[in-house]
Chains A and B, each alone.
Chain A
Amino acid sequence: MSEPKKVQGDLVLSHVRKSFADFTAVDDLSLTIPKGSFFALLGPSGCGKTTTLRMIAGLEEPTSGKISIGDTDITYTKPYHRPVNTVFQSYALFPHLTIFENVAFGLRRRGIKDVDEAVEKVLGLVELSHLKNRKPGQLSGGQQQRIALARAVVNRPALLLLDEPLGALDLKLRRQMQIELKWIQTKVGITFVHVTHDQEEAMTMADTVAVMNNGKIEQLGSPADLYENPKTVFVANFLGQSNFIDGVVESSDGSNVVANIQGTRITFPKSRNNASGSAIKVGIRPEKFRLHDPGDSTHGNVLIGGKITDISFTGVSTQYLVEMPWKQELVVFEQNDGGAPDLVKGDPVTLSWEPQFTFALDGASK
């Protein structure tokens, strides 16, 4: 019977490092997760996101650094003394207990005698009240996932950790659960920290996304911010697709930058220039490009002399590969809304895009 302290507030990680025998999983990570937010840690496998989550849960001890919720330091607090609950990737439902007892587990351990009302309420929230007498083995993956969520939420923790909670579900169910999770988070108002490698999942649900790579946070921001103005090539490529064209900054006035890319002069807002030197990599998302027949009137930045080398139909859009005069192939998505000209393989094309959709990174960055 170990009642966790009544702790509330923002989750703060400061200079947290976790080294294992031969590598550093988390490297000097500092992060503030505001109370009540839906926060996603996004990154490829091995980037340190799960280790970070486990340190917050108390399942791993940081090698150095500090973790606190509000004013309370929880760096070395035992997991069972933390106001933190986890939805495990494998769900980790107790196979020997009924669904009801699984959900009641945390409440009972805290010495709460009358658990019926709280358990029934949370089972209602995940719409599985009718399964309360079953064993976890008799439930489908999606149902188990909801029970795992209910088992954590029922404790009203200051912080709910979700470790790739939808990883084992099929695509359709995953989409449905994403919406449900977001709805439940809004309803219960608990801070959710969600670890995932699925960028779409992170962007759909989270208010704030931190993209992690090699134990560090590459960039942190709102999903739209990360997508539209990535600060590194890694972020630009991890969240969707990007075209990068090498270029040089020629001049910049108050609000705009003029750059030369492969002999063509383009402009973009100064706020979109994340490079420190004059050598830059200009990034344009495939869906920002517009395709024109050569000679048509254009608007914004323009690249001429392209040639269609491949066309593939993907449903909502068509993907074109366009070979530029400097032998680079650019990816272009056009909505299938009749706006783009009818093009076939080998057709010459002109590309254009609006300057505000450009982003520039350091020329040396990979």
Chain B
Amino acid sequence: MAIAHVGASDAPKAPEKKSKKFAYLLLAPGLLWLLIFFAFPLINLAETSTKTPAPSFETGEFVQTFRFMNFLDAFVDNQEQFYRSFIYALLATLLALAIAYPLAYAMAFRAGAWKNFLLIMVIAPFFTSFLLRTLAWKQILGAEGPVVSTLQFIGLMAPDGTITATAFSVIMGLTYNFLPFMTLPIYASLDRIDYRLLEASGDLYSNGATTFRKVTLPLSMPGVVAGTLLTFIPASGDYINAQLLGNPDNYMIGNVINSRFFRVVDYPTAASLSFLLMASILVVVLIYIRRAGTDELV
């Protein structure tokens, strides 16, 4: 900059202006996309959430009355499913973390030539619809499936026992479905760790376990935070796993929203629930990010 000042005084300004314009141009498609596919539906949803049934009581007819009590009613009526959603999502996130971290660690540090193969294996499930994969689990874990009959044969399970239609199978389904979202960010942050830092830690009197605790784990925290968010957020709004692998006792808030929208045709309640879900996830995530202190990490 100092050199530019000596020579042409207004020359450096021109390209700066141009590049700023160019940046807006590059942003335009994204902003437009956000406006059309995110902002408009959200406004529409917000508008629906405070409506009440039309005086005619015709199905699907609602009028805007700005009834904000809709939110409280929706919450009070569906508290159970709300809590369950977060508990299931939390358990699934913890399980996925417990499975994904060792897997990502092995891929990043121990896999050698197998690294890329394992990476493809992690991504491979995305090649089929998650609906089909969840249906497949319903078959595998179902009453006539191989798991139940084997467990019953060796006597580990009562003859009338089931795996599907339990909280266990729903949480398992959630864990399975979101495992790649946990694995990939953790792998990415572990893979980025300079191996010499681990050597330096060993050189400075840390054994393997201490090196993991003091160097590897803190440096992989951005991946852990990203992975847990990518698992927890969609898992708390999920309804497919509960619907296919659970019974109504395992229904989550997503199932309620789904049924309010499409079966009961109670748009205001469904919209209120959607907003409550979004808001509560946002609060949970903000608290989590603050606690994790990811901005401190490099």
Contacts and interface: CB of A to CB of B under 8 A. Distances in A.
A92 B296 CA distance: 19
A194 interface: no
A79 interface: yes
B200 A96 contact: no
Contacts of A96: 215, 218-219, 296-298
A79 B201 CA distance: 9
Contacts of A175: none
A105 interface: yes
A319 interface: no
B298 A95 contact: yes
Contacts of A85: 203-204
Contacts, number: 68
Contacts of B296: 96
Contact of A92 (B194, B206, B210): B194
Interface string A258-285: 0000000000000000000000000000
> What size tier do the contact residues of chain B reach?
20 to 34
Nearest to B296: A96
A34 B207 CA distance: 29
Nearest to A148: B200
Interface secondary structure of B, over-half rule = helix
Contacts of A4: 205
A88 interface: yes
User: Chain A interface mostly helix, strand, loop or mixed?
Assistant: loop
A57 to B, nearest CB: 6
Contacts of B203: 57-59, 79-80, 84-86
Given A94-B215, A96-B297, A88 B205 contact: no
A78 interface: yes
Contacts of A68: none
B205 A110 contact: yes
A2 B297 contact: no
A151 B219 contact: no
B205 A90 contact: no
A191 interface: no
B161 interface: no
9 contacts: A2-B205, A59-B203, A78-B202, A80-B202, A80-B204, A88-B196, A90-B194, A92-B200, A96-B218
Given A95-B298, A105-B206, 7 more contacts: A2-B205, A4-B205, A58-B202, A80-B205, A85-B203, A94-B200, A94-B215
The 10 closest A-B pairs by CB, nearest first: A106-B204, A92-B200, A109-B205, A95-B298, A92-B196, A79-B202, A96-B218, A80-B205, A86-B203, A105-B204
Interface of B: 194, 196-197, 199-207, 210, 214-215, 218-219, 296-298
